[in-house]
Structure 1
């Protein structure tokens, strides 16, 4: 994974792309990754889930005690790997808000 592309960059992925990504990610992995995410990134995830799923995820995040930063970073990297695979397969656009350059 390109080291310049970090978990917070997923905020630039369109909603459809986030929904595809969420289908591929285990909930425990998502909870750990979001523990270290900013509010904007969390909201992006929540708004791309059903209301019930978002409420459950919020509750899980609140009830989860402190976690090691290394665990958070590991899960964020795993999610980025999935995002990169989906991008390689042409299913989502990473970091360009869908505005590909043509040459």
Structure 2
């Protein structure tokens, strides 16, 4: 990416805008997280969160009912080690669902420019 930035800054910026990672889900508001939670497979969420940052884990768990979050945490602990490939696949699945929901206008994924920032 660094080489591309040196040669063609505009293309590098477009590529950066298209890249969206599991950690970028942290930009969702509570309503968006809850909408995403309704749309995804809970088993995949359990696997995806095994490789997520504490911030992302907290965000998802904080938007679940107490009972659901307790079950998720217990499932994650009981699961033991998980292959990185499985974590990556589960995270990609969730990112793709989030992109689909955003394309349908069901959730808003804020970008770093702040243009999609919500005011309450």
Same fold (TM over 0.5): yes
In 2: Cα distance, 1:37 partner to 1:100 partner: 24
2:73 corresponding residue in structure 1: 58
Residue aligned with 1:96, SS: coil
Structure scoring higher RCO (CA < 8 A, sep ≥ 6) equals 1
In 2: Cα distance, 1:29 partner to 1:3 partner: 23
5+ long unaligned stretches in structure 2: 1-16
Any conservation in 2 of the 1:9–1:95 contact (CA below 8 Å)? no
2:33 corresponding residue in structure 1: 18
In 2: Cα distance, 1:100 partner to 1:53 partner: 30
Residue aligned with 1:17, SS: helix
Choose between structure 1 and 2: higher helix proportion: 2
Q: Highest Rg: 1 or 2?
A: 2
**Higher alpha-carbon deviation: 87-96 or 28-37:** 87-96
What TM-score results when the alignment is normalised by the length of structure 1?
0.89
Deviations, residues 9-44 of structure 1 (Å, cap 9, x unaligned): 101100000000001111110001000001010000
What TM-score results when the alignment is normalised by the length of structure 2?
0.77
Task: Please state if 1:47 is matched with 2:52.
Answer: no
In 2: Cα distance, 1:28 partner to 1:3 partner: 27
5+ long unaligned stretches in structure 1: none
Deviations, residues 42-82 of structure 1 (Å, cap 9, x unaligned): 00001100011001101111111111101000010000110
1:31 corresponding residue in structure 2: 46
